[in-house]
Structure formats: C-alpha cells, structure tokens
Amino acid sequence: MDSAFDNLIRRIRNITRGPRTIINRNELTKAAVLVPIVGRHGAPHLILTKRTMTVAKHKGEISFPGGAREPEDEDEIANALREAHEEIGLNPKQVSVMGLLDDFPTMTGFSVTPVVGWVNSEAALMPDPVEVAEMIELPFSDLQDPAVHELVKLGSEPNGYRFHSYQVSGHVVWGATAGIIYRFLSALNGGNDP
C-alpha cells in the first residue's frame, strides 16, 4: 500500500475494529457486502457495481459486491469475499480485510454486514455479465461533497421512510448502499457529516 494512504488506513482500522452493532433478528436474512477501497491516482476510491436488469432483485441498482450468507461461508468476511469473487472476479488474496462496520438492516429483509477491504490496485477485476452491467469507482472526495448527498423522505411521519442518496459522476446511489457509505464516511469524519 502507498504511504500516502497510511493515515486513512489507520483511521479505517480504528473504526472497523472496535465495538459494533450486530443485528440478530430471525425475520432478517444474514448477508454481507464488501466495501472495497482501491487507491487510484493517489486517492481512495470505492468500487461499486451497477446490477444488470436480468438479476432477480435490485435490478439496475448500484451496490457493493455482496449477498446472502451461504452455509459454506465461515463468517461475514468469507461471505463478502465469496460474493466479490463471484460478482466482480476479485481474488480474495488481493484484498486486505480491515474490519467490519455496523450491521445495516434493509427494507427488503436483510441484515447486511459491511466488510471493509483494501484492494490491491493491480488486482484484475472481471465482472460477471449476468450480475454486473458496469463497474464504478467513485473517489471519496466526490462522495464527501455535501452537494451530492441528500436525505430523501418518503411518506409522512411516523410511518415514513428516510434513505440516503448520492448523485455523483452521473450515477445515483441510494438505499442500503448509500446508507452504508454515509455511515462509513461519517465515522471517518469523527462522527460528523461527511
């Protein structure tokens, strides 16, 4: 890893290795996503995917590589790395797992564990064309611009729903993925808005 990223790596390790919120609710399916970070042009980027229109769920949405836990998955890390390998061809040996973020419940019935990993910048990525229409790399600096983020409210209180949304580089990232990004960047910013 590039020494320019040392401070960021330390901060990420601090927030991903401490106590975290774990959601164990029987009605929620356990799942994990990889929050893959890669250094490009001297800056950290998140690797995301745009799902195809032929997948069963979340058609056309932008998401982290991930999915439901399978019986062969030893833990959340194994779950996230397996899914990233299946979806984007990322060899688990090319990922340095940094830790876990708080579990994130979704409206679609999942309890998602985000697994943060630093990806070797020379790792070969080969998206599965059945699942992934496009690979997207978004710089942290773009995601931290307040102009690209909004908290969207649907419905009225108390039964309304709020979700984060990012409109950045011609892409709209919303729902659980945007919520995970928001929590992660807020934690990196000392608990303040990114």
Interval 6-47: pLDDT, tens? 889 999 999 998 889 999 899 999 999 999 999 998 999 999
pLDDT of residue 190: 78
pLDDT of residue 3: 62
Q: Residues 69-81: pLDDT tens digits?
A: 999 999 999 999 9
Domains of the chain: 3-140 (3.90.79.10)
Work out whether strand 62-63 and strand 43-51 pair parallel, antiparallel, or are unpaired: antiparallel
Phi-psi region of 164 (alpha: psi -120 to 50; beta: other; left: phi over 0): beta
Q: Residues 98-134: pLDDT tens digits?
A: 999 999 998 888 999 999 999 999 999 999 998 899 9
Mark out the alpha helices in the chain (DSSP H runs): 6-16, 76-88, 140-143, 175-188
Q: Which residues contact 26 (CB under 8 A, 6 or more apart)?
A: none
In this predicted structure, the answer to whether residue 88 has a pLDDT above a threshold of 70 is yes
pLDDT of residue 104: 94
In this predicted structure, the answer to whether residue 1 has a pLDDT above a threshold of 80 is no
In this predicted structure, the answer to whether residue 162 has a pLDDT above a threshold of 90 is no
pLDDT of residue 145: 92
Residues 174, 163: contact at Cβ < 8 Å? yes
Question: Distances from the Cα of 21 to the Cαs of 100, 167, 191, in angstroms?
Answer: 10, 28, 15
Closest C-alpha to 35, from 92, 94, 100, 88: 100
In the chain, the percentage of residues whose pLDDT exceeds 90 is 68
Residues 32, 76: contact at Cβ < 8 Å? yes
Residues 125, 135: contact at Cβ < 8 Å? yes
